Amino acid sequence: MSHTIRDKEKLIARVRRLKGQIEGIERALEAEKSCGEILRQLASVRGAMSGLTAEVMEGQLREHVLHAETETDRQRGGEELIEIIRTYMK
């Protein structure tokens, strides 16, 4: 079973918290809050997104590279992770 399926509920909860934080930014903009307040909220969302990304990347590395069933699966998992990291770093 894939790590994203096994951890589905936990990951969905994190996504829902992110969604709430983004909605909070929208409300702050609509309420004409200070740019400092909006920037703090943006930083919070960025941190939460980075944490979620790191968690899923770690699961990818552990399941599809470190604990791959075959050397072919390990190679495939490693190559996929390289592509993901390249995309993430853009």
Domains and CATH numbers, the chain: 5-89 (1.20.58.1000)
Q: Give me the pLDDT at residue 90, please.
A: 86
Q: Rg of the Cα trace of the chain?
A: 17
Percentage of the chain modeled with pLDDT above 70: 99
At how many degrees (to 10) do helices 8-30 and 35-61 cross?
160
Give the global pTM. 0.84
What pLDDT, in 10s, does the model give residues 31-41? 999 999 999 99
